[in-house]
Amino acid sequence: MIPHLFKKTSYPVVFLLKEQMKRIVRPLSYLVIFRKDKSMEHFNRSISAILVTSAIFIALSDCSPNMSQAGIKTKNPINISKTEQGFSITEGKEKVLFYQRRHKSMDGKYTRANYIHPLYGLDGEILTEDFPADHPHHRGVFWAWHQVWLDDKKLGDNWAAQDFFWDVYDAEILTIDSKSRALKLHVYWKSPDLTDTDGKQQPFVKETTTIRIHHTEGDIRKIDFKIELLALKDNMRLGGSEDAKGYGGFTTRIPLPDGLEFTGTNGPVEPTNLSVEAGPWLDFSGNLGGQGKKSGLAILCHSSSPGYPQRWILRRKGSAQNPVYPGRHPVSLSREKPLILRYRLIIHRGDVNDVDLDRLQTEYNNSSDPVFNGK
């Protein structure tokens, strides 16, 4: 009965019960050692009080999963704070990433939103670039495609950040456990190429993206992405670049220092002009922060994603890294069942030999899709 009665008892009550036990135990010790001539009735009452108090304390300890051994509630180390431009995510005092919700541009060009920059390494180094001179439409960690079709009409270019608008109409901060938090984003894709009779842009794709940030374990941090795309119009199609490269989808624009190491499932990978096969994960390690210290970023593709394992567009200089989906040939988007793409970033110290990416890939593939609770 006792565990059921005290499941929701707070920490202050546990503290008071501890103090009550002290008040009972001390007189009893005196009674046993110095006052053995007193009646057994008083002795029995004291013993009963100890047993009842102990039982309550044990029950409370067993029914308080959010308390540490010291009785203090565990604080989630991941913090998500809303700002004027988007959301800042930290772990303790360390910066993790910034999600850009509001649109920004460079002199009115390359207007973009709905992406991550900066992304930080475990020692504070910045792992992404925004508005790079060689490809100013590239931006941090982003997911975009050259081809977005409605029937035979192309609606802007959300890869090149031209004639495209990301209406992030809602954002939720979610908690699943005491060691991670997530940002769930609700986005309408719009373009001046599709308007109503009053000239108002009409949404044609509904995007729901969940970004889950795990606390750092040793020398690695995991960041999960689940991207859901649902058509709001009939005959919507999505595709990568229309050339043989077919690039498009989940993309990272990272620094490209000399000596950057590209490693896939079967070992070193050399970038080529066209996409390559390299397995379900790809690691990029080197002097990413420009501080003379080696660190890395790995992209893992979840086995539930279409095209798994996806091919890779890789670049040593002046471009971005991209697990390609769907390629140059567009795929249809359903109005009933969303297209779902899942990826995990592994941020780590050292190079690929300092992390067991095969094990981490298996762990990721076997992970269930979490059910998030409120903030």
Residue 136: CATH number of its domain: 2.70.98
Pair 142, 169: CB distance under 8 Å: no
Q: Retrieve residue 4's tokens.
A: 């059921």
Is 96 contained in some domain?
yes
Q: Is pTM, for the whole model, over 0.85?
A: no
Helical H segments across 149-223, by residue range: none
Whether residue 337 is found in the same domain as residue 264: yes
Pair 306, 297: CB distance under 8 Å: no
Q: What are the helix and strand counts (H, E) for the chain? A: 4, 23
Q: What's the confidence (pLDDT) of residue 21?
A: 46
What is the rounded CA–CA span in Å between residue 46 and residue 52? 10
Pair 239, 248: CB distance under 8 Å: yes
- CA–chain centroid gap for 157, Å, is 26
DSSP code of 228?
A: E
The residue among 20, 38, 62 that closes a domain is 62
Whether residue 38 is found in the same domain as residue 152: no
Q: What's the confidence (pLDDT) of residue 17?
A: 40
The residue among 62, 97, 114 that closes a domain is 62
Helical H segments across 231-356, by residue range: none
Look at residue 80 and give its three-state secondary structure. strand
Residue 227's contacts (CB-CB under 8 Å, 6 or more residues apart) are 143, 207, 208, 209, 250, 340, 341, 342, 343
Q: What's the confidence (pLDDT) of residue 3?
A: 45
What is the rounded CA–CA span in Å between residue 180 and residue 173? 11
What is the rounded CA–CA span in Å between residue 90 and residue 74? 17
Q: Retrieve residue 137's tokens.
A: 């439409």
Best CA proximity match to 226, nearest among 310, 113, 343, 143: 343
Is 302 contained in some domain?
yes
Q: What's the confidence (pLDDT) of residue 26?
A: 47
Whether residue 156 is found in the same domain as residue 259: yes
Is 371 contained in some domain?
no
Q: Retrieve residue 341's tokens.
A: 């793409």
The whole-number mean pLDDT for each consecutive block of 10 residues of the chain, a chain of 375 residues, reads 43 43 44 43 52 45 42 81 98 98 97 98 97 98 98 98 98 94 98 97 98 97 98 98 98 97 97 97 95 94 98 97 98 98 98 98 89 52
Whether residue 256 is found in the same domain as residue 304: yes
Best CA proximity match to 320, nearest among 241, 231, 254, 250: 254
Best CA proximity match to 360, nearest among 293, 306, 252, 283: 283
Q: Which amino acid is at 274?
A: L
Residues spanned by the domain of 321:
78-366
Look at residue 29 and give its three-state secondary structure. helix
Is 373 contained in some domain?
no
Is 269 contained in some domain?
yes
Whether residue 129 is found in the same domain as residue 198: yes
Whether residue 36 is found in the same domain as residue 90: no
Q: What's the confidence (pLDDT) of residue 49?
A: 53
> ∠ CA 80-82-84 to the nearest 5 degrees?
150
Is 73 contained in some domain?
no
What is the rounded CA–CA span in Å between residue 298 and residue 276? 16
Q: What's the confidence (pLDDT) of residue 14?
A: 41
Q: Which amino acid is at 64?
A: S
Q: What's the confidence (pLDDT) of residue 72?
A: 55
Token look-up 């495609």 returns 145
DSSP code of 70?
A: T
Whether residue 178 is found in the same domain as residue 223: yes
Q: What's the confidence (pLDDT) of residue 74?
A: 74
Number of domains in the chain: 2
Whether residue 84 is found in the same domain as residue 57: no
- CA–chain centroid gap for 204, Å, is 26
Whether residue 153 is found in the same domain as residue 235: yes
Q: Retrieve residue 192's tokens.
A: 């001046």
- Please give the torsion angle defined by the CA atoms of residues 90, 95, 96 and 98, in that order, rounded to the nearest 10 degrees: 90
The residue among 62, 88, 110 that closes a domain is 62
CA–CA distances in Å: residue 144 to residues 106, 158, 205, 213: 19, 6, 13, 21
Look at residue 357 and give its three-state secondary structure. helix
Whether residue 30 is found in the same domain as residue 127: no
Whether residue 181 is found in the same domain as residue 208: yes
Is 68 contained in some domain?
no
What is the rounded CA–CA span in Å between residue 291 and residue 126? 11
What is the rounded CA–CA span in Å between residue 194 and residue 207? 17
SS3 content of the chain, % helix, strand, coil (to 5): 15, 40, 45
Is 72 contained in some domain?
no
Whether residue 89 is found in the same domain as residue 218: yes
Q: What's the confidence (pLDDT) of residue 228?
A: 98
CA–CA distances in Å: residue 300 to residues 83, 340, 347, 352, 362: 29, 15, 11, 13, 10
